[in-house]
Amino acid sequence: MTQTKIIDGKAFAEKLRADIARRVAKLKTEKHITPGLAVVLVGDNPASDVYVKNKAKQTREAGMNSYEFRLPEDTYEATLLAKIEELNHDPNVHGILVQLPLPKQINEAAVIHAVDHKKDVDGFHVVNAGLLATGQPGFVPCTPLGCLMLLKDTLGDLSGKHAIILGRSNIVGKPMAALLLRENCTVTVAHSKTKDLPALVKQADIVVAAIGKPETVKGAWLKPGAVVIDVGINRLPSLSSSLPAGGAQGGKLVGDVDFESCKGIAAAITPVPGGVGPMTIACLLENTLKAATAS
Ligand code: NDP
């Protein structure tokens, strides 16, 4: 029976944010630059509203300027693109984040493409995706960047480790694979058409789960001593009401990993909440500081 370490992403993110605040203060004193992050929210998705408020609060706490723009649900794509163009040219704005998902009349890809890639602190622009894929410096998506920090903190050198990533989205799975390749891991990327997932997971020293399916990865799938990073955020239906899963309210939050069954088998695991989640905003601040420093 392995003693499983619970990876405290909340504490790690707090330390990182304190370090970012120190570096922001230095940039202000030495270069008279205050990093600025603009967040654009379209519509009134309650979960997005909570994320945007948290981002603004933590941006200000780090000593940066936070600019929030709220547009109505029926905003035309052209109106949003014009707002982005304005922010692209605003010298006080170093990072631009358009909160996803967007209402259905707006083409997400067009919006991501419209953000100046030098202000793309989300790392979603094709230029940044291409830079990451070809091993060149650019902005790395915040969630996989946070996962990598936790992995390095837990394991040190990742070279030669076999990592399996469950999920191949542009915002988590694919950039995570590129980052781990860069660290000299041997990387397997699994997705919904992958056959015999448990047998593949069994071979891995590192498991990153980002599929959006509650408690899917079981302890019995793991190689004993594996390190497990659970990116998933799933809200189970509330027992006491008929609120739907995935809403801002409702039942318990769980990851893509069956946490309880992994304890005693994994060497280390991130909890949900309190694992990867807090790292995402901290990495957004890191990227914003990087954009301001390069300006
Ligand atoms: P997407 O829905 O964009 O992608 C899910 C991926 O998982 C797809 O590649 C899909 O395969 C794959 N998949 C689905 N079911 C299975 C399965 N049973 N076995 C193997 N692969 C499967 O999700 P995201 O990448 O955006 O997010 C994943 C999870 O991470 C979600 O729970 C989300 O809420 C969470 N998340 C958390 C963040 C944080 O800050 N902690 C930030 C971002 C996301 P296919 O391509 O074949 O469809």
Question: Can you say whether the dihedral through the CA atoms of 60, 65, 71, 77 is positive or negative?
Answer: negative
Which pLDDT belongs to residue 242? Answer: 53
Q: Is the CB of 234 under 6 A from ligand 1?
A: yes
Which pLDDT belongs to residue 145? Answer: 98
**Burial level of 185, CB count in 10 A (0-12/13-18/19+)?**
buried
Clarify whether 83 is annotated catalytic: no
Q: Is the CB of 212 under 6 A from ligand 1?
A: yes
Domains of the chain: 33-121 (3.40.50.10860), 142-277 (3.40.50.720)
Which pLDDT belongs to residue 90? Answer: 98
Clarify whether 55 is annotated catalytic: yes
Close Cβ partners of 62 (under 8 Å, ≥ 6 residues apart): 17, 20, 21, 24, 285, 289
From ligand 1's centre to the CA of 172, what distance in Å?
8
The ligand 1 atom nearest the CA atom of 255 = 32
The ligand 1 atom nearest the CA atom of 276 = 41
Which pLDDT belongs to residue 182? Answer: 96
Strands (DSSP E) found in the chain: 5-6, 36-42, 65-71, 95-98, 162-166, 186-190, 206-209, 227-230, 234-235, 253-254, 268-269
Q: Is the CB of 208 under 6 A from ligand 1?
A: no
> Could you give the CA distance from residue 157 to residue 29 in angstroms, rounded to a whole number?
35
Q: What is the DSSP letter of 217?
A: B
215: left (phi over 0), alpha (psi -120 to 50) or beta: left
Residues 65, 8 contacting (CB under 8 angstroms)? no
Between the alpha carbon of residue 152 and those of residues 12, 122, 182, 229, the distances in Å are: 12, 21, 13, 12
pTM here is 0.95
Which pLDDT belongs to residue 247? Answer: 47
Q: Is the CB of 213 under 6 A from ligand 1?
A: yes
> Could you give the CA distance from residue 121 to residue 119 in angstroms, rounded to a whole number?
6
**Amino acid letter, residue 5:** K
> Could you give the CA distance from residue 158 to residue 15 in angstroms, rounded to a whole number?
22
In this structure, the residue with its CA closest to atom 18 of ligand 1 is 192
Q: Is the CB of 175 under 6 A from ligand 1?
A: no
Question: pLDDT by residue for the chain (295 residues), tens digit each?
Answer: 789 999 999 999 999 999 999 999 999 999 999 999 999 999 999 989 999 999 999 999 999 999 999 999 999 999 999 999 999 999 999 999 999 999 999 999 999 999 999 999 999 999 999 999 999 999 999 999 999 999 999 999 999 999 999 999 999 999 999 999 999 999 999 999 999 999 999 999 999 999 999 999 999 999 999 999 999 999 999 876 555 544 455 689 999 999 999 999 999 999 999 999 999 999 999 999 999 999 8
Which residue in the list 122, 205, 230, 258 is annotated as catalytic? 122
Which pLDDT belongs to residue 249? Answer: 58
> Could you give the CA distance from residue 93 to residue 90 in angstroms, rounded to a whole number?
6
Residues 14, 45 contacting (CB under 8 angstroms)? no
Close Cβ partners of 133 (under 8 Å, ≥ 6 residues apart): 178
Which pLDDT belongs to residue 246? Answer: 45
In this structure, the residue with its CA closest to atom 22 of ligand 1 is 192
From ligand 1's centre to the CA of 268, what distance in Å?
21
